[in-house]
Structure 1
Amino acid sequence: MAGGADRSKDGPAGRDASVTDFPLPVRGVEQREADARHAGERLPELLARGLRRLAITFVNHSGAVLVKGVPLERLPQVARDGVGFSPVADAFGATGLIDPLQSLARPDGDLRLIPVLDTIQPLDPDTGWAWAAGERHHLDGSLYALDQRGFCRRQSALAGPEAGGSGLGLTAGFEIEWMVGRAGGPDGWQAAVAGGPYGTDRLIEGLDYLSALADGLDAAGLPWLQLHPEYGSGQFELSLAPGEPLQAADRLVAARLVIQRISSRFGLRCSFSPMLAPDLVGNGGHLHLSATREGSPLLGGGTGPGGLTAEGEALVAGLLEQLPALLPLACSLNVSFLRLAPGRWAAPFQVWGVENREAALRLIPAGPAGEPAQLELKVADLSANPYLLLGGVMAAIGEALRQPRPLPAPVVGDPAATSAGAAPRLPLSLADALVAFRASPVLREAMGEALHRTVAEARDAEVRRGEGLSQVDLIASTCCWPLSGG
């Protein structure tokens, strides 16, 4: 049934919900004390930079970034013991409300949110705030199996060269699209920066805003490649520099916080919502991937279509097959599927193509300056939890390389104009995509039963939230996402 967990298996405090078929790391006493010493060694340098406060975040099942703030002087203690966070946080929905039908919607239990020390960086230096990614552990030190960053870290280790000497290397980077506006207008949203698509008029109108944003990204140590107006009204796009998968997810979280902060300073709202109004284009959060085997590229330099190697063909074919199951990780809101419509260049077709922006998987050949060939997952938007998305993508890639399957021919031109059946549509709704997610043995095995089940419950809750709402009201309910309650 919807939200259909058997609560009797979960225990009164949620401890049994973390049981998996694979071992999870444990932070023993020695590791905790080592983390405290490491934090103490870093503390003087951080304080000397004017940082006084630390925001420790994690991203819940619904894609919301949740936080606990501590004085930076407490870093050694917090690095050892963490700060408390209730397991119910993963039952928070898109609007912040708890769905009572989810198995995590209960008051019992506690977890410890541990800052990942190597991720500490300035968030807003002018006010003394730093940021760190966090991972959640049980009180006995074992990693919480529902922790999303822990899942991504585990999949990254399995995909990396240290896993059986496979020599597989993956890098990832995100594009962030958002709109800048104010409350008001017929749809509850009014664009705040005038100018045309990709236009220098919008660049000039928003130059002070974009300059402050670039300064904020630089101050936070977030490397970026491009920052420019996008197609939609009041819309901008930021391309983050690629890195290892876990690093790419961390950068996305931190960059979104910087964008929100700078927008707030200008008295503006920024929205990462996939749909802000029925007549506006939506916001995507495209994921770019490159892959190597022992240093040699898999997505370029080969004899296959678009320069793919044999393993590159297997990688693309495997991801293509898993796309319907991956959609609930890439698109967590009901309105995500309103964006995935033909003609919006949102790539709603289960096809791939070389430089085809209406294909769900777009192969970008190697650049003239030596840039590696990339595969762009165009269906993803920023409602996704980046750790869950990258973890799921890495699991699909691992399966694709272990069990190669043939790659269909690339689609040329508009997939909507191809003959019937040549370009199948991806699921039309979150409910339809959930069927594929639940049926995927690849994702179930990689995530573990508890994480897989509770993520599905979170999507069930979002489906229920949208029942009975008109399309206009549904879009309005998340038009300022992730801002809720105002």
Structure 2
Amino acid sequence: MRDRPSATKINQPDPHVRRVLERAELEGIELIRFLYADHGGVIRGKAASRSRLAERLNTGIGHTVAMMAMNMLDQLQEVEHLGPVGEVRIVPDPSTFVPLPHAPGAAAMLSDLRNPDGSPWEACARTFLKDAVETLADAGYTLLAAFEPEFTLGRRLPDPAGGYDRLVPLDDALCYAGTGFDTAHDYTIKLIRALETQGLRVEHYHPELGPGQQELSVRHAPALRAADNHVLYRETVRGVAMRMSMWASLAPKPLADQAGNGAHLHLSLWNDTQNMFADDSELRECFIGGLIAHLPALTALTCGSVNSFRRLAPRTWASAYAVHGLDNREAAIRICSPLGESGEPNLELKPSDSSANPYLSLGAVIHAGLDGIRRKLDPGEAVDVDPDTRPGRYRRLPASLDEALDALEADELLMEALGPLRRSAYLAVKRSEAAAFAAQDAPYELFHHMRVF
């Protein structure tokens, strides 16, 4: 765990702070959102006014500890030390300041949750990733990462029969079809411009398999920045849609009978300027071995909702088996062949979606991969077929959130990495979600995930 920043460091002029204050004044920013991701995978926060921004950049905004025991249905869970007594501060990272083009007059910063004395708080998800990055650096490595999200674009309409609101897709275009490009064009251009304004470099875009389904990827970045980028991406995808009287859902399966939305996680490990995943390296194999060994438990963090497991079905290109393979899109871990002579090899973790807290997800992946390197874990054979065509040969991923949570509780490495307060809160929140949705029908589940993610 990081030490508390010294008073000397706190009082030193920070060029990021000066830049934030100058930009807020020059650009007419009235509200600055301090954002964080909770254990339910929900992006939450509070906002400071411009008049109090200089002060709040130093003190943060007061916040109840109980919010990290809140599930995605806004049901507060009983977790020791996360009740009505206790206070943390939402402390923004000034280097992450971005205007919000979809919300004129507003900006955002990604934030840590800290104790009132400024020390790291044991339930902060962003701190978990920062600590994982530091552990990796101590071993001599850095991780570059990028989420590859899909989402469903359409309109949220009342159910004529009086049931839950429906998500009606924008189109019925075919996968990669030109009509899909044209139908979503105005939205897509506004989204790209909004993302680029926030420093997220757009890589590529295309209409995906399902009705109204879109895929737009942004450039890789160091691990913490990649997770921050994914938070901004989620907020921007939905915010731009709302400004255009549409609705965008990044939920894993907002429509039961249509393709699911993943957020595949792309990874490459570096030692200074050298990509350690190049040339079939032993280190890459060991990293994969760590992911494979911990994959059932990892799934509880990378696919963090009940709805996630509607997507993780065999023969849907979503991955349902704990295997790896070169350019195998049915494998949980795809070894991606480089693009052109200058392309860099990377790994793609397919059981990953946008209902997960990206800080917990990516931090856990780092711990698992590093465990594989330290113990020189063998990933097993590379699979060059759809694993579902060989019944009984390969280990199936958990088929429900409860199964994944059972695996997480049994995984000593990840439980230790999460720490007592964080793991207690996460398990309580996720167990409560599993129980709440088990007591309801499918339309209830689909509606609430479409609404929240």
Alignment counterpart, residue 252 of structure 2, candidates 259, 263, 274:
274
* Structure 1 stretch displaced more, 447-456 or 343-352: 447-456
CA distance in 1, matches of 2:65, 2:250: 26
CA distance in 2, matches of 1:477, 1:139: 34
CA distance in 2, matches of 1:246, 1:41: 21
Matched, 1:408 2:380: yes
Q: 1:268 to 1:398 in 2, by over 3 A?
A: same
1:35-57 CA distance string (max 9 Å, x none): 67852454124422343321110
SS of the residue aligned with 2:324? strand
Matched, 1:168 2:141: yes
Matched, 1:440 2:411: yes
CA distance in 2, matches of 1:126, 1:334: 31
Matched, 1:195 2:190: no
In structure 2, what is the equivalent of residue 152 of structure 1? 129
User: Conserved in 2, the CA contact under 8 Å of 1:32 and 1:81?
Assistant: no
Matched, 1:183 2:183: no
How much identity, in percent, do the aligned residues show? 28
CA distance in 1, matches of 2:47, 2:104: 13
In structure 1, what is the equivalent of residue 42 of structure 2? 64
In structure 1, what is the equivalent of residue 75 of structure 2? 97
SS of the residue aligned with 1:399? helix
SS of the residue aligned with 1:179? strand
* Structure 1 stretch displaced more, 184-193 or 151-160: 184-193
Which residue type is aligned with residue 361 of structure 2? L
CA distance in 2, matches of 1:235, 1:105: 38
List alignment gaps of at least 5 residues for structure 2.
Answer: none
CA distance in 1, matches of 2:26, 2:102: 12
TM-score, normalising length: structure 2: 0.94
In structure 2, what is the equivalent of residue 17 of structure 1? none
CA distance in 2, matches of 1:434, 1:272: 22
- Alpha-carbon RMSD across the aligned residues, in angstroms, is 1.9
Alignment of 1:404-483 (within 5 A): 404-418=376-390, 420-482=391-453
User: Conserved in 1, the CA contact under 8 Å of 2:32 and 2:49?
Assistant: yes
SS of the residue aligned with 2:112? strand
1:378-409 CA distance string (max 9 Å, x none): 01010000000011011112211111122211
SS of the residue aligned with 1:443? helix
In structure 1, what is the equivalent of residue 5 of structure 2? 27
CA distance in 2, matches of 1:194, 1:278: 16
CA distance in 2, matches of 1:122, 1:25: 31
Q: After the TM superposition, list the runs of 4 or more consecutive aligned residues in structure 1 that deviate by more than 4 angstroms.
A: 35-38
SS of the residue aligned with 2:323? strand
CA distance in 2, matches of 1:406, 1:446: 22
Alignment of 1:77-476 (within 5 A): 77-99=55-77, 101-103=78-80, 106-124=83-101, 127-160=104-137, 163=138, 166-184=139-157, 188-301=166-279, 308-418=280-390, 420-476=391-447
TM-score, normalising length: structure 1: 0.88
User: Conserved in 1, the CA contact under 8 Å of 2:79 and 2:424?
Assistant: no
Count residues with an aligned counterpart.
448
CA distance in 1, matches of 2:329, 2:28: 44
CA distance in 2, matches of 1:352, 1:72: 50
CA distance in 1, matches of 2:191, 2:379: 41
User: Conserved in 1, the CA contact under 8 Å of 2:42 and 2:452?
Assistant: no
